[in-house]
Amino acid sequence: GFGGIDVCAEASRAEEALDLALIHRPDIVLMDLSLPGRSGIEAMGAIHAELPSVRVLIMSMHDDTQHVRSALERGAAGFVVKDAAPLELELALRTAVAGEVFLSPRLSSRMMAPLFGRPRSEGIDALSNRQRQILDMIGRGLSSKEIGVELGISVKTVETHRARMMEVLGCRRANELVLFAARLGRDPA
């Protein structure tokens, strides 16, 4: 348990989640999409219909954007991947209780593009100035070592920035970042 968060009941089936929610009227329900029975998303809809003020946080092994999107469209208070760290889960619960929507960081970068119909380059806004600088240099074909020398930072620091940028921009492989950077260099911002 987390400080200030009391677990009042646990359901083993999706249908049971609704019954328990009606009995206990919790502030928040953490709904696992892989429960047997009705789909968690349907069960969430049923809970919302009966108890509009209850926030439902979805937990799932499926981190495909389709699942996430349909959950959010139906009013989920957020989406946590199943192997999330306890700290992330606590943050998700607190965020949901506060009335905001929480998305696992692993999902948000993947979601942002199609969710708002924007090109992936929107992720650039999330980069620091230093990271944009490095991205620009990657786009010009500089190696991590050359970038380090030019910026007066260690290769390790450049690599750390690179990894962070890949995460933010949703690149899975290093060459995607290079392609992204190169494309960016060609497109006037």
Q: Which pLDDT tens digit goes with each residue over 149-162?
A: 999 999 999 999 99
Say what the pLDDT of residue 111 is: 60
Q: What is the DSSP letter of 6?
A: -
- Dig out the tokens for 185 from the structure: 């260099």
63 Cβ contact partners less than 8 Å away, ≥ 6 residues apart: 81, 104, 106, 107, 110
- Distance from first CA to last CA of the chain, Å, rounded? 47
Q: Distance between alpha carbon 15 and the CA centroid of its chain, in Å? A: 27
Q: Which pLDDT tens digit goes with each residue over 62-83?
A: 666 777 888 888 889 988 888 8
Say what the pLDDT of residue 178 is: 80
> 36 near 75, Cβ under 8 Å?
no
Indicate the pLDDT class of residue 133, thresholds 50, 70 and 90: very high
Radius of gyration, alpha carbons of the chain: 21
Say what the pLDDT of residue 59 is: 87
Query: CB 143: neighbour CB atoms within 10 A?
Result: 12
- Is the confidence at residue 112, as pLDDT, over 60? no
pTM of the entire predicted model? 0.56
- Of 12-16, 93-97, 121-125, the range with the highest mean pLDDT is 93-97
Alpha-carbon distance values, 24 to 6, 29, 93, 124, 143 (Å)? 12, 10, 17, 44, 58
> 177 near 169, Cβ under 8 Å?
yes
Work out whether strand 78-81 and strand 28-32 pair parallel, antiparallel, or are unpaired: unpaired
What's the whole-number mean pLDDT along residues 111-133? 66
Q: Which pLDDT tens digit goes with each residue over 3-60?
A: 677 888 888 887 888 899 999 999 999 988 777 777 778 888 899 999 999 999 988 8
